[in-house]
Chain A
Amino acid sequence: MPAGTLYRGREGMWSWVAHRVTGVLIFFFLFAHVLDTALVRVSPEAYDSVIATYKIPLVNLMEYGLVAAILFHALNGLRVVAVDFWAKGPKYQKQMLWTVVGVWVVLMAGSFYPVLEHTLRTWFGG
């Protein structure tokens, strides 16, 4: 790393990139999700048929990916708030990022079974 490069290519830049990418993905999902939920106003059958898509194993796996994106965006967002409002935030931004990554890994491990239970039961019974 060249001397004096404090931001580019370092934790600050990559967390910004990840925050932006996850944010855009979540926004597109949100847009689709409001539209699919609006089907409750059409008929129970229309709503249940679109919700059946959410229960397909591949889509269930994508829900786990959605949880991954939302958890990172949420945790890193709290870090951004801390950087902006906490006097020592900028000083500890790097440590806070690794805390975010650590908490994210724990929560992703913890949500693996609850989120994918439907698929695991479909495939392996029980």
Chain B
Amino acid sequence: MSTDTNDLVVPSLHAHTGKGLGTGNPADAFVVEPARARTRKTPRRTRTNFEMLAWLFMRLSGVVLVVLVLGHLLINLMLDGGVSRVSFAFVAGRWASPFWQGWDLLMLWLAMLHGANGMRTVINDYAEKDATRLWLKGLLGVATVFTVLLGTLVIFTFDPNI
């Protein structure tokens, strides 16, 4: 038996020490703790609940993205000739306004983070080998950071007179 397990299984005489099951039943001495039982090495709680925050982020960003992305599609693909009028001059005209710069910046960040977190879920679901998962998520992280930073840089440094 490892020291951890020994610590958990103690005779009732030692119950007052705070170790073991401490129910007062002499049979406690023979109880084997399940593999997932907390030991002294188990953190009591994690500092943040990342998965819960990710779950919440998907729903909040999703609702905002419905407005941002459908508006983007309406303007760039549907209204007034749709894709036929998209050009450098068209982009320059729209990014002359801080409102549309802000719209596109927020859309870029939320869509990339929402998409990256979705891809993380997909990778976790289907990549069974630890190494494969790690590599795919590493690649995803690098591609996401690169794309978000590139897009942000482009919006902030756009020059209509290039």
Chain A positions near chain B (C-beta within 8 angstroms): 20, 23-24, 26-27, 30-31, 34-35, 37-38, 40-41, 43-44, 47-48, 51, 54-55, 60, 63, 67, 70-71, 74, 77-78, 80-81, 84-85, 111, 114-115, 117-118, 121
Cα(A54)–Cα(B158), bound, Å? 21
Q: Which residues of A contact B89 (CB under 8 A)?
A: 44
> A54 touching B78 by the CB < 8 A rule?
no
B27 contacts chain A at the CB level, 8 A cutoff: no
Residues of A within 8 A of B13 (CB): none
Contact yes or no, A48 B66, CB < 8 A: no
Contact A74 B150, beta carbon cutoff 8 Å: no
User: Is B131 in the interface zone, CB < 8 Å from A?
Assistant: no
Stretch in B2-10, B46-54, B112-120 with 4+ CB within 8 Å of A: B112-120
Interface string of B134-162 (1 = CB under 8 A from A): 00000000010001001101100111001
Majority secondary structure of chain B interface residues (helix, strand, loop or mixed): helix
Smallest CB gap from B125: residue in A: A20
Cβ-based interface call for B127 (8 A):
no
Once A43-B162, A114-B79 are accepted as A-B contacts, the answer to whether A48 and B87 lie under 8 Å apart by CB is: yes
CA distance A67 to B74 in the complex (A): 10
* A-B Cβ contacts below 8 A, count: 105
Cα–Cα, bound, A34→B59 (Å): 23
Which residues of B sit under 8 angstroms from A23, Cβ to Cβ? Answer: 115, 118, 122
Query: Does B81 contact A118, Cβ atoms closer than 8 Å?
Result: yes
* B11 sits at the interface (CB 8 A): no
The distance in angstroms between the C-alpha atoms of A20 and B17, with both chains bound, is 52
Most chain A CB neighbours (cut-off 10 Å) among B83, B147, B154, B158: B83
* Residue in A31, A67, A118 whose CB lies within 8 Å of B143: A31
Given contacts A77-B62, A78-B63, contact A40 B78 (CB under 8 A): no
Nearest chain A CB to B46's CB is how many angstroms away? Answer: 22
Pairs across A and B, CB under 8 Å, 17 listed? A23-B118, A27-B115, A40-B162, A41-B153, A41-B159, A51-B88, A55-B84, A60-B83, A71-B70, A74-B70, A81-B62, A85-B59, A111-B78, A114-B78, A114-B79, A117-B82, A118-B83
